[in-house]
Amino acid sequence: MAQVIGLTGSLGSGKGEVVKMLSSRGFRAISLSDIVREEATKRGLEHTRENLQNTGNALREKHGPGALGKRVRETIEHDSSAQWIVDGIRNPGEAEELRRIPGFKMVGLSADREIIIRRVMERQREGANALSRESIIEKLEREMGKGEPPEGQQVGKCLNNVDYIFLNESTLEDLERKLDHVLKLESGADRPTFDEIFMEIAYTWAKRATCLRRRVGAVIAKDKQQLTAGYNGAPRGVPHCIELGGCLREKLKIPSGQRHEICRGTHAEQNAITQAAKFGISIEGSTLYCNTFPCVICTKMILNAGITTVVYDSDYDDPLSKEILGQQNLLTLRRYEGRRMRI
């Protein structure tokens, strides 16, 4: 089966470099953006980023969120023997269309926002129409989905639905090494890293979660061995939210990341830590893997439990947690990279 890899990520994340790397390995490149450019040309529009974004939105609104993905899928299906690299996936509907291709895998590229802003500013340094820092941030936020309709730019949602996620914050050699790992994993020539193993277990535990808002799993490991695990849901012996007619936080319209005390559930990280206490397992100096960034309550427990590293996957908007983590020097926080389980 020929490999088909899709790419998603924001402006300045390095997608173009990955396309070059895979093209040099014999992959045929195709971009959803090419379809948008063709349509913009037909409409007599200059190919500015804003015009292209608006044109893409118009095509999705008229033909459905997966319209661009469908056209690319049909092109690939006409030459299914070739290996393809698909660039420019910006809406979950496009990804779902492409997942109809047997063996399709989506790779997400990310980086710290300040790194991306610096890259964009350096890239346009010689241009007469250079964007300001504020304009770059505005474009990045729009691309990630801020203020966009469902059929619009939704790169943030796409990144939460990839098969592999990588940070592109170092050298091109480092990026190529990560890409090589993806290709070898897919061909069976490489083994998963321990980060990938433990995060996959965390995602597996998340399948047991009973929270109606977010399914979270956590694993505590040390010396390459799993010690304990947990998932989010009501405490032992207490009815789950679904049995009581729904989520209290939803009923009270409490935003995510706020008023954690108004919740019937125990978080996955808390359950993993309390399981260690219950069975007398020392977790001093251990690593906690979680598919979500820890909230402020979990953060305080993690610090006091002597855990020294947290590896998290998706972000969670809790400003106080991030403030506390920025003030301490006992814990190392790492964004997860590698193969991701989709739940």
Token pair, residue 335, equals 């964004």
Cβ–Cβ under 8 Å, residues 47 and 40: yes
Strands annotated E in 185-284: 217-222, 225-231
For 240, residues 6+ apart whose C-beta sits below 8 A from its C-beta are 210, 233, 234, 264
Is residue 269 part of the annotated active site? The answer reads yes
CA angle at residue 86 from 80 to 89, to 5 degrees?
A: 135
Cβ–Cβ under 8 Å, residues 113 and 139: no
Set 269, 284, 323, 337: catalytic member: 269
Q: Is the dihedral of CA 96, 101, 102, 106 positive or negative?
A: negative
For 176, residues 6+ apart whose C-beta sits below 8 A from its C-beta are 21
- For residue 89, CA distances in Å to 56, 95, 153, 278, 328 come to 11, 7, 9, 46, 38
Q: Which helix (H) or strand (E) holds 277?
A: helix 268-279
Half-sphere exposure of 97 (CA within 13 A, CB side): 24
As annotated, the active-site residues are 269
